[in-house]
């Protein structure tokens, strides 16, 4: 990386703008990518013009205006009181940390007005800990990169810009603070559900009928689950005579009602293509390996070793290994080798291809539209995905996190993260169809925050925390989602540094 200065003449004056640029090698030669924009710095040759920035002065613990001048020009007399010469040649970049996904998580948190909801209920500790901010950290972590609270404390928090975005420090991720935050959550479950009910209605224009259904819903009396292969085999003949209905673009469903239960056969075009490509890849790999084992030069010398090699290849192919029949001679040939023969079971493969991309659902919600049932099942799949990581987390918690209330609070935090994910998904459906919440978080997660340190001629240091400039596709994504980047944080200037020449060491 290096500094790049852009000069522009405006109103008869020369303006100098500074950027940090990264050079990349390509097939067409080096290409420069702008990483950080540092802005305009005063030119002392133009004493009639002066640009100041607001900085936090650590020596006086207050904000004040400061005019910056490059050290290659003398500091003008009129700027002696509030000007400083900075040594751009000694600039350094430190502490890169993930910024974009954290910023988006906080935007979603505020969009649901969870900041005001929890601030009013959780309050602060005697030591000044704002519990709503701690909960915000926990939920952002669960949304972006879920894991245990211990990992959040030991590693994750320091590698993100959450402290910068929340105006806090590492105290937000102290392990005792994280666990104690859980103890304050469960009393507010019902109030939270009412709050989310009203907020989602306002944000997404939910109809009165849907909201009434939410109020009357009783999860213990209804179920919607996938079915095992055996039951599908029994119903296959009845389902074959049913017509396909379109649930949404690329998704078809069939409906079958039997004995107070409804069965929904769903088939997704995208899932067909995905499963077919995976099967082809596994079968190609298996057939290539069998071809190698059948060659005399590659064949193991003993029958046991040959069978083990074939078993390993079939295991790698998974359930698709059953589409290939392999036979090994019981006795060796004249050269002492065991012949290998194999063939593709095309009839079985055709049966499997007919089932690609489809799955059978079972529910006691008789009389429901099959497209609606499919949509409900997809939402249940999303919920399951959001909570799947809990299985591992609960086993690696410190021992005092094993009581029932803490575990329930742990699940509650995951529910809050799921609420943010749902809000992002609905926004994507309206503004950027085809994108998933995970892909958006990963794309914006590539935006980093760094600390730019610039020493001054008087021994101090100017520190500018800056998030990196978004790439073209990141900017396009934010424009589609109507997200507006915040202003860059205000710089800080350190107190006078000690004179190292007097150090006895």
Q: pLDDT grade, residue 211 (50/70/90)?
A: very low
Q: Is residue 412's pLDDT more than 50?
A: yes
Paired tokens of 289: 């390996």
280 and 398 assigned to the same domain: no
The pLDDT score that the predictor gives to residue 400 is 45
180 by Cβ neighbours in 10 Å (0-12 / 13-18 / 19+) ranks as middle
Q: Does residue 310 sit within a domain? A: yes
177 and 297 assigned to the same domain: no
- CA 220 vs CA 217, 223, 224, 348: distances in Å: 9, 8, 11, 40
231 and 353 assigned to the same domain: yes
Q: Three-state DSSP class for 390?
A: helix
**Residue entry with tokens 């690329």:** 250
Q: Does residue 214 sit within a domain? A: no
390 and 457 assigned to the same domain: no
**Average pLDDT in the 299-322 region?**
86
Paired tokens of 423: 């809000």
Closest of 415, 473, 491, 444 to residue 67, by C-alpha: 491
Whole-number Å distance between alpha carbons of 445 and 319: 36
Whole-number Å distance between alpha carbons of 37 and 18: 6
Q: Is residue 37's pLDDT more than 90?
A: no
Q: pLDDT grade, residue 26 (50/70/90)?
A: low
For the CA atoms of 97, 98, 100, 102, the dihedral, rounded to the nearest 10 degrees, stands at -110
Number of other CB atoms surrounding residue 366 within 10 Å: 11
111 and 87 assigned to the same domain: no
| Residue at which a domain ends, from 310, 332, 364 | 364
pLDDT tens sequence across 216-258: 555 544 666 677 767 777 787 788 888 888 877 888 888 777 7
Task: Tell me the pTM.
Answer: 0.59
Q: Does residue 378 sit within a domain? A: no
Range of the domain at 426: 100-193+386-431
Q: Does residue 206 sit within a domain? A: no
Closest of 88, 72, 87, 77 to residue 50, by C-alpha: 77
Question: 198 vs 118, which has greater pLDDT?
Answer: 118
Closest of 449, 427, 446, 445 to residue 436, by C-alpha: 427
Paired tokens of 501: 């020449």
174 and 59 assigned to the same domain: no
Contacts of 203 (CB under 8 A, 6+ apart): 111, 112, 423, 426
Q: Which long-range contacts (CB under 8 A, 24 or more apart) does 165-172 make?
A: 165/99, 165/102, 165/103, 165/106, 166/106, 166/133, 166/136, 166/137, 168/130, 168/133, 171/129, 172/133, 172/134, 172/137
425 and 466 assigned to the same domain: no
Whole-number Å distance between alpha carbons of 464 and 36: 11
Q: Does residue 149 sit within a domain? A: yes
242 and 348 assigned to the same domain: yes
Q: Does residue 202 sit within a domain? A: no
The pLDDT score that the predictor gives to residue 426 is 86
Contact indicator for 3, 88 with CB cutoff of 8 Å: yes
147 and 257 assigned to the same domain: no
275 and 335 assigned to the same domain: yes
356 and 394 assigned to the same domain: no
Q: Does residue 441 sit within a domain? A: no
The structural domain count of the chain equals 3
Q: Does residue 107 sit within a domain? A: yes
404 and 306 assigned to the same domain: no
């Amino acid at each position: 990386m290096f500094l790049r200065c852009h000069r522009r003449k405006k109103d008869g004056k020369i303006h100098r703008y500074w950027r940090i640029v990264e050079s990349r090698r390509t097939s067409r030669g080096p290409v420069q990518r702008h990483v950080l924009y540092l802005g305009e710095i005063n030119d002392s040759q133009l004493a009639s013009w002066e640009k100041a920035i607001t900085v936090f002065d650590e020596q006086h613990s207050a904000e004040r205006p400061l005019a910056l001048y490059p050290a290659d020009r003398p500091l003008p007399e009129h700027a002696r009181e509030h000007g400083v010469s900075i040594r751009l040649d000694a600039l350094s970049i430190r502490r890169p940390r993930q910024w974009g996904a954290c910023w988006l998580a906080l935007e979603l948190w505020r969009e649901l007005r969870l900041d005001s909801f929890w601030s009013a209920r959780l309050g602060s500790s005697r030591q000044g800990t704002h519990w709503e901010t701690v909960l915000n950290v926990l939920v952002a972590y669960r949304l972006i990169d879920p894991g245990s609270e211990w990992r959040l404390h030991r590693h994750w928090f320091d590698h993100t810009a959450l402290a910068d975005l929340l105006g806090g420090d590492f105290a937000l991720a102290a392990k005792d603070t994280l666990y104690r935050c859980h103890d304050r959550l469960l009393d507010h479950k019902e109030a939270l559900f009412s709050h989310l009910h009203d907020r989602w209605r306002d944000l997404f224009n939910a109809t009165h009928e849907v909201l009434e259904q939410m109020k009357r819903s009783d999860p213990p009396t209804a179920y919607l689950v996938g079915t095992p292969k055996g039951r599908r085999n029994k119903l296959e003949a009845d389902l074959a005579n049913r017509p396909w209905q379109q649930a949404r673009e690329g998704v078809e469903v069939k409906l079958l009602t039997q004995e107070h239960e409804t069965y929904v056969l769903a088939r997704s075009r995208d899932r067909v293509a995905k499963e077919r490509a995976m099967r082809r890849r596994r079968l190609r790999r298996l057939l290539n390996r069998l071809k190698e084992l059948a060659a005399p030069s590659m064949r193991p010398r003993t029958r046991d070793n040959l069978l083990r090699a074939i078993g390993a290849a079939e295991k790698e192919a998974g359930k698709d290994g059953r589409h290939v029949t392999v036979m090994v001679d019981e006795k060796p040939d004249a050269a002492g080798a065991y012949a290998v023969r194999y063939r593709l079971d095309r009839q079985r493969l055709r049966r499997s291809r007919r089932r690609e991309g489809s799955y059978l659902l079972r529910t006691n919600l008789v009389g429901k539209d099959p497209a609606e049932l499919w949509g409900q099942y997809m939402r249940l799949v999303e919920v399951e995905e959001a909570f799947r990581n809990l299985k591992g987390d609960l086993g690696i918690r410190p021992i005092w996190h094993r009581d029932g209330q803490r575990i329930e609070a742990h699940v509650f935090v995951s529910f809050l993260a799921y609420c943010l994910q749902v809000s992002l998904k609905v926004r994507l459906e309206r503004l950027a169809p085809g994108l998933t919440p995970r892909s958006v978080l990963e794309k914006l997660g590539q935006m980093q925050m760094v600390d730019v340190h610039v020493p001054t001629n008087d021994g101090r240091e100017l520190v500018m925390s800056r998030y990196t400039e978004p790439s073209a596709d990141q900017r396009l994504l934010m424009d589609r989602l109507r997200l507006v980047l915040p202003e860059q944080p205000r710089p800080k200037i350190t107190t006078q540094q000690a004179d190292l020449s007097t150090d006895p060491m």
